[in-house]
A = this chain, B = another copy of it.
Amino acid sequence: MESNAKLILVTNDDSVNAKGIQSLVKMASPLGRVVVVAPDKPQSGMGHAITINDPIRMNRVEMFGEVEAYATTGTPVDCVKLAIYEILGQKPDLVVSGINHGENSSTNVLYSGTMSAAIEGAMEGLPSIGFSLANYAHDADFMQYEPFVSKIIKHALTQGMPKHTCFNVNIPNLANDAIQGIKFCTQAHAFWADRFDRRIDQFGRPYFWLTGEFGEVNPTEDSDLHALAAGFISIVPTQFDLTNYAVYESCKSLNL
């Protein structure tokens, strides 16, 4: 690797042991110097959690061959912070997170550790991309999507990205040659209709498992869910300013 190679931080929320991150490392390695800092165990659904009340452990791991890699006890967001401030000693040129086992379209972006790592990268002012595949299988075939993932990463490395914005990339569960292309989208207005599976343990005490169904409330043609259903890879430019500017002015006239 030449010394002016771009520095690419790879993380995820499914842990260093997931096939998705192993595939992403393979795809990113020809494009720059890759360093992996990722959780040592699954952290799906961790959102933007950080570890405040416990210390974090971090160990060098070897499963990525020649690629420098660390497994941490922290969350995906912790991993990005540790990478920048403890391991790399500099800001990377790009943060890529994933490839997630399962999609993170629509409001799932808020629950997703994979996307929160990318959002944390954006907060650090770095080009950042989260990748997710609409397939939860542990042995899903991620490598077939290399042409798309590689193209998106190369674009970010050469053309840059909008400041303080990351890309939320979702790949539909289709064979590579059935994918219709890449489409920029808005975050679909869709929600979980939650319910809990209530069970009784061996001591007669109840416990609860979160479950539910996902449904789009106001389907729009520009949404990520719509693009995925039509066979496209969706990209939502994603920011972290949660101010609802559409109502901000009218709020100012409230009598409070």
Contacts and interface: CB of A to CB of B under 8 A. Distances in A.
Interface of A: 42, 44-53, 55-58, 77-78, 81-82, 84-86, 107, 109-111, 116, 119, 123-124, 151-152, 155, 159, 162, 165, 168, 182, 184, 186-187, 189, 191, 194-196, 198-199, 205-210, 235-245, 247-248, 250-252, 254-256
A27 to B, nearest CB: 16
B242 A187 contact: yes
Contact of A45 (B50, B84, B119, B182): B50
B53 A44 contact: yes
B107 A57 contact: no
Contacts of A45: 49-53
Given A51-B210, A191-B123, A196-B82, A243 B237 contact: yes
Contacts of A243: 186-187, 236-239
B247 A237 contact: yes
A84 B210 CA distance: 12
A56 B241 contact: no
A56 B207 contact: yes
Contacts of A247: 162, 165, 237
| Copy count, this protein chain | 2
A250 B235 CA distance: 13
Contacts of A159: 254
Nearest to A125: B191
Given A152-B256, A245-B186, A42 B53 contact: yes
Given A247-B162, A251-B162, A210 B242 contact: no
Given A48-B49, A55-B199, A86-B208, 11 more contacts: A44-B52, A48-B48, A57-B208, A78-B210, A86-B198, A119-B242, A155-B256, A162-B244, A184-B252, A237-B244, A237-B248
Contacts of A84: 194
Contacts of A119: 110, 242
A107 B77 CA distance: 14
A49 B50 contact: no
Contact of A206 (B58, B168, B196): B58
Contacts of A250: 162
A41 B4 CA distance: 48
Contacts of A184: 248, 251-252, 254, 256
Contacts of A244: 162, 165, 237-239
